[in-house]
Each structure stands twice: as structure tokens, then as C-alpha cells.
Structure 1
Amino acid sequence: MAQLLLLTRDTATSAEILPALGLLSHQLSVAAMESASLLNAEPDVVVIDARLDLVGARNLCRTLQAAGNGLPILLIVTEGGLAALSPEWAPQDFVLVTAGPAEVEARIRLLAATDASDDVIRAGRVEIDESAYTARLDGRSLDLTYTEFELLKFFAAHPGRVFSREQLLSEVWGYDYYGGTRTVDVHVRRLRAKLGDAESLIGTVRNVGYRFDPR
């Protein structure tokens, strides 16, 4: 269960703003759509209501990102509001007001799974401390090589996404690496072995590549 902070200019209830929220079990607080609302709050996900004020929502997204607190942002938009979205908004994800509970739950779960603050990435049972260069599974330290650490860190930073072997090779090994994609399979196999009974965290997507599922 995640801690959600809904920032809005509407006086309606959260269930009216995004009906699916009323069917989920997350802890939800509602506050004014301004950066000051986060001063005494520690949410896992910030939900910004962009239905009535696209400009204000955009400016708030940019302000929160510039603050560097690492809080993931989920935008609530209407179908018409989609045309206004652009990379400068910098939210981690968005959801339409018509989205069902299963979709909203999945988006919240994936956003809450990764905490990028303080150089620590948390994805389910895995915790990556970039500054200390350590990785833990259920609190237990993992003895990883440099490449295994970088591979696990990349997976943990992108939970739920599917990556081809070519993409992993490019992102983890770098463009100047001359080896073939088979090295990805080898390192995934070794990493799974070190994860032990949690090896299924790294799933194989047939004919595509791999996906990290932070259950």
C-alpha cells in the first residue's frame, strides 16, 4: 500500500477526480496544488490533477522536478489534455480520468516501487545504493561484480519494462562494447543465481528479452 498525495485545485472528492482511486486501498491525502503542500508530507507518489489547470500542473511538475527530491509524479489528465503534454512537463507517468482500477493500481505500484532519493533505488525486495555501490535483497547484501551490479541497478530503475538484449547491451555495457548479445544472457543467468529463490524477479519475455518484476 502506497502513500499518495493528491494535489488539486478542485473541491470535489478524490473519488470524483479519479473514480478508480476510490476503489483502491492506498492511503490518500488531498492538498492544494502548490509546492508548499509537500513541506510536511512524505508521499511515495505525488498525484497531480491536471484536468482543470494544465498550465498550473505543468509548472508544478517542473518545480517539483527542479527541487530534486526524487518523488515520482503521476498526472491525471483528460483525453483533451493529452495534446498539451510534452517532455518539459517531466512527469514519470500519466493516467486518464477514465482509467479503471487495475490500470491505476499498476501505474501507482510501478511508480512507488522505485525511490530515487538519496541515491537509493528500491524496487520491491531489491535495494540499490548507488553511492555506496551496494545491492541488497530482503536486507541481505549481494556479492555482485561491477557488471552484475550495473545490470541489476538498471533493471531496478525500470521495473515492469521489457528490454531487448540489444537495449540492455547498449544501456549497461555501452555503445563501444564489441561483444555480442549472448553476454547479456550469461550475466542474467549469473545474476539470477545470486538472487537465489528470488531469481524470478528477472523474467524472460519470449522472443523479446527480459523484464524486472519487483514483486
Structure 2
Amino acid sequence: MAGIVLFTSEPAAPTDVLPGLALLTLDVEVAPLTTSALAMNLDADTLILDGRRDLVSARSLCRAASGAMEAPPILLVLEEGGFAVVAVSWGATDTVLYSAPPAEIQARIRMMSDRAQAEARQESIDQSILAIGGLTIDSNAFMARAGDRQLNLTYKEFELLRYLAANPNKVISRDGLLQEVWGYDYFGGSRTVDVHVRRLRAKLGPEYESLISTVRNVGYRFDA
């Protein structure tokens, strides 16, 4: 599902809740103000919750929606008196007066969407960067640093370092590293792993080479 879903406790059209929607070309579906309806619509682009008449249910749904994984932006519609009781802890992304003009409604929905997209991009960037043991490994930029020094790594050296660092304090066998870094279709022996670890340690230098420990007769461990 995409678009906008408006949750209300009344059998109402979207324009009954937000009259300003009448002058906007937005695709708005209506759903009951219940957790079961919310669960079926969490993949919408934007959620609008009608808090004009039933603030208790709107608050509960706000909290449930904001606590969900990858929750869409939530716009809470209020009457003037509702602004006195609404709180940040409710989890609404933004609030709007039910009588707001079309331009304000559209602007609030657009800004919520832009903010959500920016946060998603930042989260993606954050997840691609691993900082551990004094090393910084950026999977998107294919770059690794030891302290302030950029490491000149080959593709396999980078992948080997990234995999070890992503599994700190865990002993990984040579066969396991061959499968994860070189792939199941690689027919070389485990000696390849030893050679790459030796080269990787040399590039890490004296200060960081001890991060990769050898576990005798088993494999290697990244000591965080």
C-alpha cells in the first residue's frame, strides 16, 4: 500500500476530518481508529490520526504507530483544546488544527515526508559505516581507516577486514572465511586466508595488527 491513510473513530470522509483536503489532489483512504487497522496500514506513506473526538484512542494509536519498525510519518489532527494535552511522548510527527487551510496541510505532509526520507538516508549511511577498535570501515565508499590513516586495501583485504570486524570477538574458521569472503564457488585452499590475513596485518601496522588474533588450528578472531 502507498499513499495516505486517515484513521478516525467516526464513519467519516477525509474531508469531514480535514475540510482542507477537499482542495488537494491527495489519495487518502479511511480506516477505523483501531490497532488492528493500524497493523494493516503501516506500509502507507503517511498516517493521519483523527484526535478531534477521541483523544485517548488517538494517543494509543500514535504510540503504537511510532513504536513500530520503520513507522511512517504521523500527522495528528486536533481541535484547539487538544493542543493543551498532546505531548511529545505520544509519538506524533506533527500536529495540525482540523480547520487548517489546504496549503498548510499540504506543506506539513510534504515536510514530514522529506524529513522521513532524510532520516532514512542518514540511517543507511550510518549502517554502512563500522567504527570499532580504532578502525573505521565504510562499505559504501569502500574505504577503511586505522586511526587517521587511510588503508590501501585490495578488494579481498577490505572484505576480509569488514567481515572480521562485523563479527567481533567471534572465532571464525578458515573455511568459514573462505565461504563468506571468497564465496562458495572458490576452489582455492585455506592458505589463501592466511596470506590475506598476513598482508592485512602488515597494512594495519604495529598499532592495530593485534586486532586480528590467530586461534591455533581453528581460524581468526577480531578482538574489539
Query: What TM-score do the two structures reach when normalised by structure 1?
Result: 0.54
Counterpart of 1:130?
126
Quote how far apart the aligned CAs of 1:61 are.
0.8
Retained in 1: the 8 A contact 2:21–2:102?
Answer: yes
Partner residue, 2:167? none
Q: Whole-Å Cα distance in 1 between the matches of residues 141 and 7 of structure 2?
A: 39
Q: Aligned to 1:7, what secondary structure does the other structure show? A: strand
- Residue identity over aligned pairs, in percent, reads 35
Is this contact kept in 2: 1:120–1:129, CA < 8 A? Answer: no
Q: CA–CA distance in 2 between the matches of 1:142 and 1:100? A: 45
RMSD, aligned α-carbons: 3.1
Asked if 2 retains the 8 angstrom alpha-carbon contact of 1:3 and 1:27, the reply is yes
Conserved 8 A contact 2:38-2:61: no
Whole-angstrom distance in 1 between the partners of 2:51 and 2:128: 38
Question: Could you tell me how far apart the structure 2 residues matched to 1:6 and 1:142 are?
Answer: 40
Contact 1:46 1:71 in 2 (8 A): yes
Q: Structure 1 residue 57: deviation in Å?
A: 0.6
Displacement of 1:23 in angstroms is: 1.4
Structure 1 residues 64 and 23: CA distance shift in structure 2, 3 A:
same
1:85 aligns with 2:125: no
Structure-2 separation of matches of 1:57 and 1:6: 11
Instruction: Provide the C-alpha distance between the structure 1 equivalents of 2:21 and 2:141, rounded to a whole number of angstroms.
Output: 37
**8 Å Cα contact 1:70-1:115 kept in structure 2:** no
- Alignment match, 1:121: 120
CA distance in 2, matches of 1:15, 1:38: 20
Greater than 4 Å deviation, 4+ residue runs: none
Aligned length: 134
The 3 A distance-change label for structure 1 pair 129 and 3 is farther
Q: 2:39 aligns to what?
A: 39
For 1:27-176, list aligned pairs within 5 A.
27-41=27-41, 42-115=43-116, 121=120, 129-133=125-129
Q: Structure 2 length as normaliser, TM-score?
A: 0.52
Q: Aligned partner of 1:22: which letter?
A: A
1:105-129 Cα offsets, whole Å, 9 max, x none, are 000001112336xx9625xxx9954
Change (3 A) 1:86 1:24: same
Q: 2:31 corresponds to which letter in structure 1? A: A
Cα separation, 1, equivalents of 2:12 and 2:6: 12
Equivalent AA in structure 2 for residue 107 of structure 1: R
The residue number in structure 2 matching 1:12 is 12
1:44–1:71: 8 Å Cα contact kept in structure 2?
Answer: yes
